[in-house]
Structure formats: structure tokens, C-alpha cells
């Protein structure tokens, strides 16, 4: 159902883009809109991972610099039947994580130093599994495209007065209406897609790690940390907020129209139901021995 919903929402975003272009410039406006979208998507397709990682000053690590983390990612990627992604560390006190990349062969998982200090081994495994689920489901590409389309719609609406000749330019009221409504509608659709994909990544992440309770516990801790500890890099570049496992801009867990993430309580409840269906307890996987070593730090 989430995949169907995502497809419908992306179709709506594309239709909105075309309508905005047509209202502002007729057939020529539609062509210009499509050209802008194609150029922006081409750029973001090849550069979205580098841009996101650079925005948060993420540093790539390997088995020499972060052996336990890299080994964890490798093991979970093997469980998920996918290529080993690159692993990055963000020197940020707020506990959080995200994945990026256009496909599983060109992907990266980034975690903050704050999350290593906050979570147990098992809980961190749940978070990594969630991020790998995003990669396996191509959510990283989906969210890049939707973010780019939303940005293109806003750009298109901002320059609406320049469409067409002086005689063919749209009515000023139409231009103002498009400039206000189109970006707002695009943002709502983008956030709805993001929320839909989070639930699906939680579910698959719980399957990959073998115990959804670990991810549920991690979400509760991360949400508390995000509410108490500001993330200055995310505040400076709020367009990246939807990438994180928990919204880095606010600790409010509201499943509202403008939220980039689902309500954390709703996500935890869904994971606990999944755990009950799987018949698992908090410590039934091979990660239990590693978890006995305590929190990361």
C-alpha cells in the first residue's frame, strides 16, 4: 500500500509541476518547466550523495578507523542481500543517521558521533538496518527526485512573471496564486512521500536486523536526543531534514501535514506490533553477545 501511495503522490507532484508551468506560460511554459526539471534531476541524480554528505561534513571511515561500525554495516548489508555501502561519520552531538545515494551500488550510510554515544550495539544495528532498507527500497533516489521536483516548482513559481511575451504573460492574480499555492502543495506532497517511506523502512529494517524492538528503542532515544540537542548543520540546511531517521530540526513528533517524519510514537507502536507478529523478544539475535559490551562511546 505504501508503494502505491508513493507512486500516486509522485504522479501528483509531476502533474502539479506541469500545471504550474502551463498556467504561467501555456505550452511554452510547460516545456520550460520540463526542461528545468530534467536539468535539476540530472544534476541531483549524480551529485545528491556528495552534496548531502558535504552539507554535514561527513567523514568516510573504514575498518581501521571505525572497525565495529563498519563490520556491523557489512554484516547487515549481507543479511539484506545488498552491496556494502560506504560508511561515514558525522561529528555531531545530536544522535541521528541517514542514508544517501542513487542506487544500492552507489550508496552511503552516515551516523553521528552522538548516536554512537547514545545507543547500545543492538539499537544501533536497528538504525543501520533502517537506513539499509531505505537504500534497498531506492528511497534515497525517490526522495532526491521529490525534493528536486519540489524545489523546481518553487523556482518555477518565483520566476512566473518572466514567462511568455509581454502580451502573453499570465494574469497577475494567476501568477500570485501559483507562486503561493504551488510551492505549498509541492511541500505537502514531498512530506507525505517522506512519511510513507519511513514506515516502510522501519518494517524492512526490523526484518533485516531480526528484532524490531531494537529499532523501536533506538527511535525513542534518538527522538529524545533530537529534542534536547540542536543540529546546527541541519538548521543551516533544512532541505536535508527529511533524510534523517528522526527530524533533526525539532523534537516534536507530530504526524501533521507539514511534518517530514511520522509521529515517533506511531512508528514505535508499528514496530512493536511487528515484533509480536515475528514472535521475537528484545535479545534473540546474534547481536546479543556484541550488545553485552554496552553503549558505544
Would you name the residues annotated as active-site residues? 131
Q: Strand pairing of 86-90 and 106-112?
A: parallel
Give the residues across from 111 on adjacent strands. 89, 97
Burial class of residue 221, CB neighbours in 10 A (0-12, 13-18, 19+): middle
Cell numbers found for residue 47: 551529485
Task: Specify the 3-state DSSP secondary structure of 100.
Answer: strand
Neighbours of 196 (CB within 10 A): 21
Cell numbers found for residue 128: 543501520
DSSP 8-state secondary structure symbol assigned to residue 83: P
Give the sheet arrangement for strand 97-103, strand by strand: 59-61, 86-90, 106-112, 97-103
- Phi-psi region for residue 77, left (φ > 0), alpha (ψ -120 to 50) or beta? alpha
Please, how many CA atoms are within 13 Å of residue 138, restricted to the half-sphere of its CB? 9
Burial class of residue 100, CB neighbours in 10 A (0-12, 13-18, 19+): buried
Give the span between the Cα atoms of 245 and 164, in whole angstroms.
43
Amino acid at each position: 500500500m505504501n508503494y502505491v501511495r508513493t507512486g500516486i503522490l509522485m504522479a501528483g507532484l509531476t502533474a502539479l509541476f506541469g500545471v504550474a508551468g502551463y498556467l504561467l506560460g501555456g505550452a511554452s511554459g510547460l516545456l520550460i518547466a520540463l526542461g528545468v526539471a530534467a536539468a535539476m534531476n540530472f544534476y541531483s541524480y549524480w551529485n545528491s550523495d556528495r552534496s548531502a554528505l558535504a552539507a554535514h561534513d561527513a567523514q568516510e571511515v573504514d575498518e581501521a578507523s571505525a572497525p565495529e561500525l563498519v563490520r556491523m554495516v557489512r554484516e547487515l548489508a549481507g543479511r539484506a542481500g545488498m552491496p556494502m555501502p560506504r560508511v561515514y561519520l558525522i561529528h555531531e552531538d545530536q544522535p541521528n543517521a541517514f542514508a544517501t545515494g542513487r542506487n544500492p551500488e552507489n550508496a552511503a550510510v552516515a551516523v553521528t558521533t552522538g548516536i554512537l554515544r547514545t545507543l547500545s550495539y543492538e539499537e544501533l544495528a536497528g538504525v543501520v538496518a533502517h537506513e539499509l532498507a531505505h537504500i534497498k527500497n531506492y528511497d534515497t533516489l525517490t526522495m532526491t527526485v521529490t525534493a528536486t521536483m519540489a524545489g523546481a516548482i518553487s523556482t518555477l513559481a518565483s520566476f512566473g512573471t518572466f514567462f511568455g511575451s509581454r502580451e502573453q504573460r499570465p494574469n497577475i492574480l494567476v501568477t500570485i496564486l501559483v507562486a503561493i499555492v504551488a510551492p505549498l502543495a509541492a511541500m505537502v506532497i514531498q512530506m507525505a512521500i517522506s512519511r510513507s517511506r519511513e514506515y516502510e523502512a522501519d518494517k524492512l529494517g526490523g526484518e533485516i536486523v531480526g528484532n524490531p524492538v531494537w529499532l523501536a528503542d533506538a527511535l525513542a532515544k534518538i527522538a529524545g536526543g533530537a529534542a534536547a540537542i540542536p543540529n546546527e548543520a541541519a538548521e543551516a540546511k533544512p532541505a536535508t531534514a527529511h533524510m534523517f531517521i528522526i527530524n533533526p530540526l525539532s523534537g516534536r513528533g507530530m504526524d501533521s501535514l507539514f511534518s517530514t517524519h511520522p509521529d515517533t510514537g506511531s512508528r514505535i507502536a508499528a514496530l512493536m506490533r511487528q515484533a509480536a507478529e515475528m514472535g521475537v523478544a528484545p535479545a534473540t539475535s546474534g547481536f546479543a553477545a556484541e550488545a553485552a559490551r554496552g553503549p558505544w562511546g
